[in-house]
Structure 1
């Protein structure tokens, strides 16, 4: 039940007020600290609402602390929880008097909650409130002015619009309160993006991201609104390495608490190519609905679930690096899939894809490369760990920024990391090397960082670029270790060199860096895939099988069988791959079985392994990783085989799957 008239003066308050807190909680500790107030505080915190709660268990003397008075002054909202013993606390009354003063002077919005007390008792100051004032009158008989100030404050706040708990469930009651606070914060946020709180939050998120603040402001003020009934579907479009994902991530981190649910789906293209649409639909629903176990049998069912379960919810959804229309059609379909006020943000390299999906051209944002000053600052932050070049490096730094990086953030980070700590002579030598590479070919510029790696770390980089981008870190490290590499130090060095990152337990390599690594492999033999060290494309394996061009150069194969047609040629091709150390493949049916596997194999992952046994000639001494899911294997070998350095129990564990 709502009571009284609303106090909304803070909506018109000056934007120059330096708010530090969204909400100040005033309450009597002995009544609600470990129950209602604690639950309300937790609910506000979960929604990203910055709330001040006095953590002192006992009052510290007769006078309210300066810290609490300042916290009230720096808050947008004050929630006053009137409980049975509230009025017996002089501390609470001093808070209340300050709250009323700020309501009139700074535009503080005050929201009372009547917790197990009747609103009439508060306004008329009867019942326990009358008893409390009788005690205060005896205690402060020499200071009747203080008593009258408290009485006036109690009458004023007790008459404001608020909530009466009565017999309602506390969880539902708290949800209503939090939603109102969020709604009012949305209004403030959308009215003035130049406010102190907006700037403060943005700066905390973008602290180490050079040149991003202008892009964030431009995107939000020109393309998005937090208030209104429209569903905003926008695109962030541009070349790889431009910072599209970073921009979307910053907006997401700043604004996600203004929505009922949110989901950031990174690297849609990669995830789609590996596992299809179903896991993406599950992730979208799971994150927004906060459900871990989302059961979807097929993509069509997933579409219906998204439409039916989210059409009434105000959501923030980011699809990062989309490259096919069916990804959009089956994840974010039409505007009416989502509730009023939702934001759908799509990052892609393909502008036509957005237009084809129905994103208005005036809702497609194309960020520019960094201006020279921002580009120099970003480069210097990596090369010198500060915003300006070291003495003697100014001209050469400008040359790197203007002539080679061309304002592209990824190139600035990689080049700066590569040159960090090196002498001017090394810089000059590096610039001479850069001149041999076409300026428009950013992939070749990035390769300079690769060329400085030790040989083992180069191999790790190439394996990740060809096979493991976006995979779980622990799993990638296990496979690389199985292949004889020191994965721990290797991945650490690659992270130091800004050649990959680890986020949410997964290894990520930017598209440009991945393209660079794959181009390095292609250049091993531009015309003949059978002479390259790694194969990951179906068409390349098909070429090798069709033309019988497999060689001992092939070290690793990682792909699914779909698209490979000449299955009968596969055993013959394998017989020529003497140095094959990693084999990850699936769905390849081989009518006549296998008669050879490389004795250098360190890791095998063969889904639906077709033969009934392993080739008799296959030696297990070097094999340390294995998965033969859904295999047809019935026994290890035909005949008797002597094993000199392998654990028989491991064989059973490896192959009886």
Structure 2
């Protein structure tokens, strides 16, 4: 089945007659979907329903949803907006494979199919207003008939609304799970579906009486995080609580470290702010989590202490819980006792070739004159998706001579370890202009994860252009307006800076490690103080000429200076 949209804005669109059910059944259903199960659900605002045509906002919401829930009520057919939406929903079903779930609330499928009973009376009243538009009326009639034949839910078969809502929510969750994760290779997902199928037996999703922990192991850039995200997106709707921790290795090294991460994890699972001072989590809070079926993903773990600090024992989570850990180091998983370990291998050659072409020529196949060159690049990349993406982006719109130069550089790289990957990625870095290189290194050392607007404010006017260059070359991405960089690229950037002076950090262009900063300051304190006093006395000399009344005493001078500048 085709995806309803290559970039879905919503998972569920609610189509309903507002005056009938907005403040009762539909409101309850929306709350259960959006607040209860965290399913991104669209419910319209009355302001969007003006005139006879569907507003652009409603149109985009329909087109950008994976599932539409159509709630037929007694007065549904009296609303031209509801019927126009239904026509559009069916168009999306027939062209893009959008899923429709009809709900017959107080009416029967037969009444909707044949426009009988009270439902039919309301439709007849509406028809009279549009006697001059028989084509439109026929479209409405056809849409009602077609939708009534689809499998749905009838309110008369349930004891109360709460039972009906729970059934609809379960149906939505199952259908969302079955929607195949898009294999749109332009998003870097070539071969993802086959990997998901391979890892499903490790997850044991059909066994809900026990807790399982699964490791995802592989080299940098091989697609561990992408796979973990796909699993999280596909299965998270089945759990009472969920949490995805990106870059555990990096976050654990910051101030607060594992303690803050654990509080963030529990707060996210419980959907509330956890106000706890110090490292000790109340037993009451742990008890609540122990009664929940949770899905936890810890991405990029490099020490078993991180698993001990964040996960603890599996008995701390309710039956059916699943914990997924990604790492480059298999020993971390083994030391923690993880038995189910899925190794992520490189892409198969045909998948790798398609993945590379999507970035190098923006097609899933390669032009004949570049085929041999593409084949060689793919062979060198050895199935690593990140390397293929970065190399492909660097070759886009470049001439054959540039491709040959890149191949010459690849010929000189024979290592298959992490340094070989670094050297391969550096090929794209070397072709950047000096100022773009500088921005890349600034992001790698200091600004990864920062807000894009904040970064642009501290750069000059050309900062936006340089940022676009890095995005185009797949060296950074922008997600939720924050700058993101793959950890392998970040490590490469920092390694470039380290190589400026391996023995003396003080001679490097950038310092980010607190230990190295303290070391540099400690060994250069005399030089820093001399420079400070040198500048101070030059300023003092100038000011005593300009302001003769100022005392020549340096301390008094600086006090007055800061006072005048409103600093003190």
Whether these two folds match at TM > 0.5 is yes
* In structure 1, distance between residues paired with 2:487 and 2:322: 26
CA shift for structure 1 position 336: 2.4
Name the counterpart of 2:118.
88
Name the counterpart of 1:370.
347
3-state DSSP class of the match of 1:444? Answer: helix
* In structure 1, distance between residues paired with 2:89 and 2:387: 49
CA shift for structure 1 position 477: 3.8
1:424 aligns with 2:370: no
User: Which whole-Å deviations, capped at 9, do the CAs of 1:496-538 have from their partners, x for residues lacking one?
Assistant: 1111122233322212212211221222223333332223335
Q: 1:378 to 1:101 in 2, by over 3 A?
A: closer
Q: 1:471 to 1:357 in 2, by over 3 A?
A: farther
1:300 aligns with 2:277: no
Is this contact kept in 2: 1:205–1:253, CA < 8 A? no
Name the counterpart of 2:267.
286
Name the counterpart of 2:509.
533
User: Please, which of 66, 73, 78 is the counterpart of residue 59 of structure 1?
Assistant: 78
CA shift for structure 1 position 215: 0.7
Name the counterpart of 2:360.
383
5+ residue gaps, structure 1: 1-15, 113-157, 166-172, 190-196, 546-566, 576-593, 600-614, 621-635
Name the counterpart of 1:493.
469
3-state DSSP class of the match of 1:53? Answer: strand
Is this contact kept in 2: 1:248–1:318, CA < 8 A? yes
User: Please, which of 323, 331, 339 is the counterpart of residue 310 of structure 2?
Assistant: 331
* In structure 2, distance between residues paired with 1:324 and 1:370: 27
Name the counterpart of 1:202.
181
Is this contact kept in 1: 2:70–2:100, CA < 8 A? no
Is this contact kept in 2: 1:414–1:497, CA < 8 A? yes
Q: 1:23 to 1:534 in 2, by over 3 A?
A: closer
1:230 aligns with 2:230: no
3-state DSSP class of the match of 2:432? Answer: coil
Task: Please tell me the root mean square deviation across aligned C-alpha atoms, in Å.
Answer: 4.3
* In structure 2, distance between residues paired with 1:447 and 1:346: 29
Tell me the matched-pair count. 485
Q: 1:246 to 1:340 in 2, by over 3 A?
A: same
Question: Which of 1 and 2 has greater Rg?
Answer: 1
User: Which whole-Å deviations, capped at 9, do the CAs of 1:147-187 have from their partners, x for residues lacking one?
Assistant: xxxxxxxxxxx4x3x1336xxxxxxx4xx55444445666x
Q: 1:222 to 1:244 in 2, by over 3 A?
A: same
Is this contact kept in 2: 1:234–1:364, CA < 8 A? yes
CA shift for structure 1 position 235: 1.1
3-state DSSP class of the match of 1:524? Answer: coil
Name the counterpart of 1:263.
243
Is this contact kept in 1: 2:71–2:105, CA < 8 A? no
Name the counterpart of 1:193.
none
3-state DSSP class of the match of 1:321? Answer: coil
* In structure 1, distance between residues paired with 2:411 and 2:371: 19
Q: 1:37 to 1:537 in 2, by over 3 A?
A: closer
5+ residue gaps, structure 2: 42-66, 124-140, 541-552
* In structure 2, distance between residues paired with 1:514 and 1:74: 39
CA shift for structure 1 position 346: 1.1
Name the counterpart of 1:254.
234
Is this contact kept in 2: 1:382–1:417, CA < 8 A? yes
User: Please, which of 483, 493, 508 is the counterpart of residue 517 of structure 1?
Assistant: 493
CA shift for structure 1 position 204: 7.4
Which range is displaced more, 224-233 or 373-382?
224-233
Q: 1:334 to 1:432 in 2, by over 3 A?
A: same
* In structure 1, distance between residues paired with 2:453 and 2:425: 26
* Higher RCO, Cα 8 Å, sep 6+: 2
User: Which whole-Å deviations, capped at 9, do the CAs of 1:440-475 have from their partners, x for residues lacking one?
Assistant: 211011111111111111112112222233334344
CA shift for structure 1 position 397: 0.3
TM-score calculated relative to the size of structure 2: 0.73
Name the counterpart of 1:110.
153
Q: 1:281 to 1:198 in 2, by over 3 A?
A: closer
Name the counterpart of 1:354.
333
Greater helix share, structure number: 2
